């Protein structure tokens, strides 16, 4: 399963973006997040193009919660995508990167006053309003500032997607958004319309879940959302001009995963949208989307150095298990523990050889942090470089200092060059916020 620019070079090593991964590990150390810049750019261009060809009225926003630093903001801007952020920290990153604020959406189910004030101060393009309390607070702050803020209202279509329970967001029982079924969404729309001129509601937003390997739930959500556009227009006399269906398209973590291609996904989404617009007699809105994992996930690879290799007895066949310990784990990738996430890996220095071993890849934390329970791998020895694929989304952004581990470095690779985009933390960095009170000194 070679992804993006990955290939096996003449030395039999894994190469990404024209860079030998064993050389990257030697230069930058491990664990190391390696991002295939060429694949990211190609993904952004293709995703935009397939939707523009089928439905010209569209806007694609990168969901920065998947992967964010100053460098990726520059890439996303250069490729002509908008950006969605979900915290003061994510918004401030976009500001420091010089990202055009009119193309930024601010999300969050419990936005602080500071975050709403930042949105007004920096001129965020849309605030995605999650609840009535936030709607009223934002209207008050906008009035105080003398500004008009464009908003979307986030609604829940009442769909339970087929994905892990912790990444479902479109069902009725969720912390996100306002229910269509209970009338809360319509109430919020009516109140937002009454908050003019301080708020300008331009559209509706929904997001149904993440790592979806088919388009069925998107099709269902679109039908419900367009039907709600019709109801809003009939009730209030106002027809929303924007419809944001969020993100959620899945990627290949293992070879068995077969998500729709961008083209197949676009066919399904636009087909469903076109049918619903006709069904409910709704004029075509601008279609907004927020892919994150779908753009970044397969473009990321994490490199580790193999340490202790241990064989233990187990009661089931084949009677033994081989544990391969790496120099990272839970602190740089918590997804296996959070979401039962699965991955594939390979020995970066023997990538051209057949996978002849089955091993358990274990982290080095004071925890049972098994990264891959039963990994098929080439012959592996202490000191080898292990490459875990499809780690471009929700890995670096979820990294922690558990066990006081410094967070890994990250590099962009392209055309045979590697550039540091986030330096490795030092032990001093880890301690930099600690304070000893005078009474304990």
Structure-token pair, residue 337: 């523990």
Spatial distance between the Cα atoms of 280 and 229, rounded to a whole number of angstroms: 9
Instruction: For residue 366, indicate whether it is catalytic.
Output: yes
Spatial distance between the Cα atoms of 330 and 407, rounded to a whole number of angstroms: 11
Q: Is the peptide bond before 31 cis (omega within 30 degrees of 0)?
A: yes
CB count in 10 Å sphere of residue 420: 13
Give the length of the chain. Answer: 441
Torsion from C-alpha of 268, 254, 65, 55, nearest 10 degrees: -20
Q: Please classify residue 207 by burial: count the beta carbons closer than 10 Å to its beta carbon, then call 0-12 exposed, 13-18 middle and 19+ buried.
A: buried
Give the active site residue among 19, 73, 206, 366.
366
Spatial distance between the Cα atoms of 419 and 291, rounded to a whole number of angstroms: 25
Kindly write down the DSSP assignment for every residue of 168-232, as one continuous string: B-SSSSSSSSEESTTSHHHHHHHHHHHTTTTEEEEEEE---BSSBSSSHHHHHHHHHHHHHHHHH
Of the candidates 126, 80, 79, which has an alpha carbon nearest to the alpha carbon of residue 101?
A: 126
Spatial distance between the Cα atoms of 364 and 369, rounded to a whole number of angstroms: 8
Structure-token pair, residue 255: 């070879």
Whole-number Cα distances in Å, 425 to 39, 366, 408, 422: 26, 20, 7, 9
Any idea which residues carry the catalytic annotation?
Answer: 366
């Amino acid at each position: 399963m070679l992804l993006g620019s990955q290939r096996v070079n003449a030395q039999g090593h894994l190469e990404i973006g024209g860079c030998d991964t064993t050389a990257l590990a030697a230069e930058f150390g491990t664990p190391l997040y390696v991002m295939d810049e060429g694949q990211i750019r190609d993904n952004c261009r293709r995703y935009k193009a397939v939707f523009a060809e089928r439905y010209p009225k569209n806007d694609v926003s990168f969901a920065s919660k998947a992967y964010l630093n100053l460098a990726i903001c520059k890439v996303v801007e250069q490729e002509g995508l908008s950006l969605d952020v979900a915290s003061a920290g994510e918004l401030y990153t976009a500001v420091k990167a010089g990202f055009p604020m009119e193309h930024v959406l601010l999300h969050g189910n419990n936005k602080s006053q500071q975050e709403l004030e930042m949105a007004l101060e920096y001129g965020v393009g849309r605030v995605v309003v999650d609840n009535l309390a936030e709607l009223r607070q934002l209207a008050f702050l906008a009035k105080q500032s003398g500004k008009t803020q464009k908003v979307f209202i986030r609604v829940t279509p009442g769909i339970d997607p087929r994905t892990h329970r912790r990444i479902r967001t479109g069902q009725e029982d969720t912390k996100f958004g306002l229910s269509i079924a209970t009338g809360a969404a319509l109430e919020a729309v009516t109140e937002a319309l009454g908050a003019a001129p301080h708020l300008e509601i331009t559209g509706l937003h929904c997001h149904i879940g993440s790592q979806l390997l088919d388009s069925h739930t998107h099709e269902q959500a679109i039908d419900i959302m367009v039907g709600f556009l019709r109801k809003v227009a009939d009730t209030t006399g106002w027809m929303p001009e924007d419809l944001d269906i969020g993100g959620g398209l899945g990627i290949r973590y293992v070879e068995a995963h077969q998500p729709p291609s961008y083209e197949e996904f676009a066919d399904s989404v636009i087909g469903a949208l076109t049918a619903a617009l006709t069904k409910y007699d709704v004029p075509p809105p601008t279609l907004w989307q927020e892919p994150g994992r779908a753009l970044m996930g397969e473009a990321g690879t994490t490199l580790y150095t193999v340490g202790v290799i241990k064989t233990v007895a187990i009661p089931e066949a084949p009677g033994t298990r081989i544990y391969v310990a790496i120099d990272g784990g839970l602190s740089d990738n918590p997804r296996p523990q959070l979401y039962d996430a699965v991955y594939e890996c390979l020995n970066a220095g023997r990538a051209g050889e057949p996978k002849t071993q089955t091993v358990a890849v274990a982290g080095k934390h004071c925890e049972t942090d098994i990264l891959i329970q039963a990994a098929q791998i080439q012959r592996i020895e202490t000191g080898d470089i292990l490459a875990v694929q499809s780690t471009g989304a929700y890995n670096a952004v979820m990294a922690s200092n558990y066990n006081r581990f410094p967070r890994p470095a990250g590099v962009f690779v392209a055309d045979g060059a590697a550039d540091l985009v986030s330096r490795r933390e030092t032990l001093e960095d880890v301690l930099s916020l600690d304070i000893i009170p005078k009474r304990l000194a």
